[in-house]
Chain A
């Protein structure tokens, strides 16, 4: 089955699903939802089937590769392929999409908005997400990177909260500004490349000779776009608005998967294509990352709205991911990649459970809750697990990745690692304070009749919590897939791990 176009199939199934959903008559909203869920589950099944055939020990740069000529005049190919990093992120997208569809079952008011439109947009988004992680042609990556904005823009703008139009425009303008700067850099890269009908293939661009000034300029073009996407302090200000205003399902895909394209882009494009410029920029990037870790955490503590709080925690976590990537050690980068996955799951759980709470209470303000664990223990319990994972409690998934990132950073940049550790302490503050204020104490007048998780909601939450716990205890399968890809990246950048100062202490999770 090696010739089977796995990745194209994976990307096409949700697209076909979106079209089928739009073809369902408007009055039959239930059928539209079932069709959407069905297509997303088929995608998940295909992703699992593909992952089982992935050969972690392979020497090839990419597996399941496909390549066709697209626009030879511009050197553009339709080229797909995955390494370990891309594979786990595609897996993340494939798992989260059906979960979000199920979680959003009743989120759209059929009186005011098109129900099938929402589910079609979610599926369309999945197509672009899978495509962007699988693209091995820089131009194709850019096209999907930009195209992804459109469904997300409509999800926020059409189905979001009170400030949705403001949030949607802010999201779009930030992203487009970054995207257009990246377009400038893509053009510059093309001119610097060897040209020819396959100029944009990632393999062909590796090791492109360019002047120091050009390399730094192009690196900056790409990096700013990814920093906005990720988002890194100080270009993060769109995220709290976008995440707080979008419907919970949209927020999960936005923060959980879409933003990972930023960090994925750093590790896939910025580092290998501009190795010298990356090392040149490392001190600045690390500083920004550390500021982001602390700043996001501090602002999270001060939030009064649950969804905004979760959005700020993500800014802090993205700081950790960027820190791990630019630490230029294999532990740091493996940890950062694992962190992308873990953060996706724990944030998804937090956002979705917060969404359940908000739909029950009719308000997202922390002060409007209290004593929920008395009346809805399941809801409160799963919220706590997700929260504890977010603060990196040992035994839950985020711990492994956060630990790897910090160890990886410490071996090269001790100060950055030490300061970043402060983020962990702040994390326990923002999570536990939120839990305490919403869940503990006496139930208030409004929360006293709150229902516990329904069966549908349990089907949403249980898989997420199961993954969080499973990856907390047994991250090895993922790391086995990620590590070779990270080693390849390190080789492309031309860096190696610093020799351990105490010989026996090195190794980490290897």
Chain B
């Protein structure tokens, strides 16, 4: 037996800088929680988090064009990874800003202390003393760090670690709502249990793939797929289990059951952050596993992706029709959108002469478009309130345009983007994924896609009808004027949604350039 030799791992700090910055800021945030006086924490944490995100984004930009691996091959620094990291960082900025909002609800959107029992004396005391929760900022930064690593992981073990790093803070954050705390805690528990379950699937799939290929490195698995014909069963079952774990994170049917409950219960800015950033990260990881790891197996997994895409689009849009809560409605809409993105994922074998992989570039573009509209839409939801907190029942939104024309118009604009009306980013995104899918021969998916879009348009425009054409109840909710934090988050959402609808050329070009994985 050979003597074990131990090689000192080499770490390319420059290539890992975006993640290091974010994790560094997160650790710093923990220290601030421990040592800084309460009165200054909120501003400091918020400022630090935003500064960290901006710095990380700048370092992503400096890395543009890299196509290599780092940290002994376990982290990929390539086009899709950098594009998605940049997207996540840009999305996290409005996400953090919305989470820092303290004007719409006195003391912020989070419970003063997660550990206080709902309705207890302790909670009342904290509320009376105007205690503000600031631990959310380091938690958010840890989650962002995990999300940055997730689509960049070049081996399954790193990917699993990233999955847990991004998930654990999110489980916590979901349970921290200031209002309707029991609902929020239920959401958190549900998310945690189902998330843990899906992690187990992921882990099991990884073990089987290791058994098949003898390595967890994606390139190693790819090589084994092309050379090793034995033990196909291990490979297929392993890939399937791995896909379950990833499809759970993107919220695809039939692994979507957590989405509506969690989206409804979680504090709304966190919902928006989750809906946008988690989806971006998880689709990145899914693409990398499917295209790099088991790309040679496309013939086997393509039909599965087809099937999942079809049921996701259909179930997401049909079930959404019956929803009566605006957050649940957006949750089902996010499921439907996961289906639309999957049509792009299914477009394998669509490589252009200039090397652009249409399946990848269209998904990348869609994620940017969808992310900004989603964060903006959820931020708008936080503004419609009555005495019990956010008024999320659809009947309470009746006649909203008469109370605040601008709010109603902005929300209608986001809904139009979700519905895929031209001149919004949603349309460009849909065109990108559907044309990629057709190019890849998946035109049945396109047909199901456009029909589901028509169904989806029904419920989006039902909300528009409510807001603009229905009479408002006399005791209806009010529209709160937020602080600049939420305003900036919403404005950013509107600006990107419009820009990608009217002039998407540059982002499309960038997505095209960034569509090749390092092998």
Q: A147-B422, A168-B465 are in contact. Are A187 and B453 (CB under 8 A)?
A: no
Give B420-452 as 1s and 0s: 1 = Cβ < 8 Å from A's Cβ atoms: 111100011011101100110001001101110
User: Contact between B505 and A173 (Cβ–Cβ < 8 Å)?
Assistant: no
Cα-based distance from A183 to B435 in the complex (angstroms): 10
| CB-based nearest B residue for A195 | B352
CB nearest to A112 among chain B residues: B402
Kindly specify which of B192-200, B213-221, B254-262, B456-464 makes contact with the partner chain: B456-464
Say yes or no for B508: interface residue by CB 8 A criterion: yes
Give per-residue flags for B450-490: 1 if the beta carbon is below 8 A from chain A beta carbons, else 0: 11011001100110010011100000000000000000000
Among the listed stretches A32-40, A174-182, A284-292, A419-427, which one makes contact with chain B, having 4 or more residues with CB under 8 Å of it? A174-182
**Docked-complex contact B438 and A187, CB < 8 angstroms:** yes
A165 at the A/B interface (Cβ < 8 Å)? yes
Query: Does A184 touch B at the CB level, under 8 Å?
Result: yes
Q: Is the CB of B454 within 8 A of A180?
A: yes
Contacts of B458 in A (CB 8 A): 173
Q: Which residues of A contact B508 (CB under 8 A)?
A: 71, 73-74
User: Which of B419, B450, B504, B509 is A184 in contact with, Cβ under 8 Å?
Assistant: B450
Distance to closest chain A CB from B9 (angstroms): 40
Is B416 part of the binding interface, using a Cβ–Cβ cutoff of 8 Å? yes
> Which A residues lie within 8 Å of B419 (CB)?
176
A-side contacts of B421, CB under 8 Å? 146-147, 149-150
Our pick among A74, A180, A188 for the contact of B451 (Cβ within 8 Å) is A180
Q: Given the known inter-chain contacts A74-B431, A146-B421, A191-B435, please indicate yes or no for A184 contacting B447, CB distance below 8 A.
A: yes
Secondary structure of the A contact surface, majority rule: helix
Q: Say yes or no: B457 contacts A168, CB within 8 Å.
A: no
Which residues 72-122 in A have Cβ within 8 Å of B in the complex?
72-74
Q: Does A461 contact B (CB under 8 A)?
A: no
Q: Judging by beta carbons under 8 Å apart, are B465 and A157 in contact?
A: yes
B438 to chain A, nearest CB (A): 5
CA of A71 to CA of B508 in the docked complex: distance in angstroms?
Answer: 9
Tell whether A187 pairs with B454 under 8 Å between CB atoms, given A146-B422, A147-B423, A157-B469. no
Q: Confirm or deny: A308 has a beta carbon within 8 angstroms of a beta carbon on chain B.
A: no
Contacts of B79 in A (CB 8 A): none
Docked Cα-Cα span, A169 to B470, in Å, equals 12
B512 within 8 A of A: yes
Find chain B residues with CB under 8 A from A147 CB.
421-423
A158 at interface, CB cutoff 8 A: yes
Cβ of A460 to closest chain B Cβ, rounded Å: 28
Please, which residues of chain B bring their CB within 8 A of the CB of A157?
A: 465, 468-469
How does the 8 Å CB contact mask read for A138-161 relative to B, with 1 for contact and 0 for none?
Answer: 000011101101100110011000
A162 smallest CB distance to B (angstroms): 12
CA distance A168 to B464 in the complex (A): 11
- Bound form: Cα–Cα A146–B446 in Å: 18
| Bound complex: CA A450 to CA B22 (Å) | 76
Given contacts A142-B422, A168-B465, contact A191 B439 (CB under 8 A): yes
Give every chain B residue within 8 A of A187 (Cβ-Cβ): 431, 434-435, 438, 446
Q: Smallest Cβ distance from B427 to chain A, in angstroms?
A: 8
Contact A176 B423, CB 8 Å, known A168-B465, A184-B447, A187-B435: no
Does A343 lie at the interface of the complex (its beta carbon under 8 Å from any beta carbon of B)?
no
Cβ of A118 to closest chain B Cβ, rounded Å: 13
Identify whether the interface residues of B are mostly helix, strand, loop, or mixed: helix
- Known A-B contacts A72-B505, A73-B505, A157-B468; A173 and B461 likewise in contact (beta carbons under 8 Å): yes
A172 is an interface residue with CB less than 8 A from chain B: yes
The answer to whether A70 and B505 have CB atoms under 8 Å apart is yes
Q: Which residues of A contact B504 (CB under 8 A)?
A: 71
CB distance from A196 to the nearest CB of B (A): 11
Q: How far is the CA of A72 from the CA of B356 in the complex (A)?
A: 14
Complex Cα distance, B423 from A149, in Å, reads 12
Instruction: Judge if A260 is at the interface, Cβ distance under 8 Å.
Output: no
CB distance from B16 to the nearest CB of A (A): 31
Interface residues of A in 34-50 (CB under 8 A from B): none
Per the bound structure, the CA–CA distance linking A157 and B432 in Å amounts to 32
Instruction: Report how many A-B pairs have Cβ atoms within 8 Å.
Output: 86
- Closest residue on chain A to residue B441 by CB atoms: A191
Specify which chain B residues have a CB less than 8 angstroms from the CB of A369 in the assembled complex.
Answer: none
Residue numbers in B under 8 Å from A158 (CB-CB): 468-469
CB of A229 within 8 A of chain B? no
Cβ distance A110 to chain B, nearest Cβ, rounded Å? 14
**Number of residues of chain A lying within 8 A (CB) of chain B:** 32
The chain A residue with its CB closest to the CB of B451 is A180
Closest B residue to A146 by CB, please name it.
Answer: B422
Given the interface contacts A154-B468, A191-B438, does A143 sit within 8 Å of B454 by beta carbon? no
In the assembly, what is the distance between CA of A181 and CA of B450, in Å? Answer: 6
Assess whether A318 is interfacial by the CB under 8 Å rule. no
A335 to B504 alpha-carbon distance, docked (Å):
41
Q: Is the CB of B435 within 8 A of A74?
A: yes
Taking CB atoms, residues of chain A closer than 8 Å to B505 are 70-73
Residue in A closest to B362 when the chains form the complex, CB atoms: A73
Instruction: Give the residues in chain A near B431, CB-CB below 8 Å.
Output: 74, 183, 187
From B428, B438, B453, B470, A180 is in contact (CB under 8 Å) with B453
Residues of A contacting B416 with CB < 8 Å?
Answer: 150
Contacts of A176 in B (CB 8 A): 419, 454, 457
User: How far is B438's CA from A172's CA once the two chains are assembled, in angstroms?
Assistant: 26
> 8 Å CB contacts to B: which residues of A166-212?
168-169, 172-173, 176-177, 180-181, 183-184, 187-188, 190-191
What's the Cα separation between A172 and B454 when bound, in Å?
10
B438 touches A183 (CB 8 A): no
| Known contacts A143-B423, A147-B421, A173-B457; A168/B469 CB under 8 A | yes
Q: Is A268 an interface residue (CB 8 A)?
A: no
* A164 close to chain B: CB less than 8 A: yes
**Contact B461–A172 (Cβ < 8 Å):** yes
Q: Within 8 Å CB of B428, what residues of A?
A: 71
User: Min CB distance, A265 to chain B, in Å?
Assistant: 15
Residues in A with CB closer than 8 Å to B446 are 184, 187-188
A255 to B325, CA, bound (A): 37
Residue on A nearest B457 in the bound complex, by CB: A176
| Chain B, residue nearest A174 (CB) | B454
Q: B454 — which chain A residues lie within 8 A by C-beta?
A: 173, 176-177, 180
- Report the bound CA distance from A143 to B446 in whole Å: 18
CA distance A172 to B457 in the complex (A): 9
Residues of B within 8 A of A154 (CB): 468
- Min Cβ gap B422→A in Å is 4
Which chain A residues lie closer than 8 Å to B435 at the CB level? Answer: 74, 187, 190-191
Contacts of A70 in B (CB 8 A): 503, 505
Q: Which residues of chain A come closer than 8 Å to B512, judged between CB atoms?
A: 73
Interface core residue of B451, B457, B512 (most chain A CB under 10 Å):
B457
Q: How far is it, in angstroms, between the C-alpha of A149 and the C-alpha of B422 when the chains are bound?
A: 10
A165 touches B470 (CB 8 A): yes
Q: Which of A73, A164, A184, A191 has the most CB of B within 10 A?
A: A73
Residues of B within 8 A of A188 (CB): 438, 443, 446
CB distance from B398 to the nearest CB of A (A): 11
- Closest-CB distance, B441 to chain A (whole angstroms): 9
Bound-complex Cα distance A153 to B457 (A): 13
With A147-B423, A158-B469 given, name 18 new contacts (CB 8 A): A71-B428, A71-B505, A71-B508, A74-B431, A74-B508, A146-B421, A147-B421, A149-B421, A157-B468, A164-B469, A168-B469, A177-B454, A180-B457, A184-B434, A184-B446, A184-B450, A187-B434, A188-B443
Sample 14 A-B pairs with CB under 8 A, ordered by A number: A71-B428, A72-B505, A143-B422, A147-B422, A164-B469, A165-B469, A177-B454, A180-B450, A184-B446, A184-B447, A184-B450, A187-B434, A187-B438, A188-B443
Binding site for A on B (CB under 8 A): 416, 419-423, 427-428, 430-432, 434-435, 438-439, 443, 446-447, 449-451, 453-454, 457-458, 461-462, 465, 468-470, 503-505, 508-509, 512
Which 6 residue pairs of A and B lie closest in terms of their CB atoms, listed nearest first? A143-B422, A165-B469, A180-B450, A73-B508, A184-B450, A177-B454
Point out residues on A near B: beta carbons under 8 Å. Answer: 70-74, 142-144, 146-147, 149-150, 153-154, 157-158, 164-165, 168-169, 172-173, 176-177, 180-181, 183-184, 187-188, 190-191
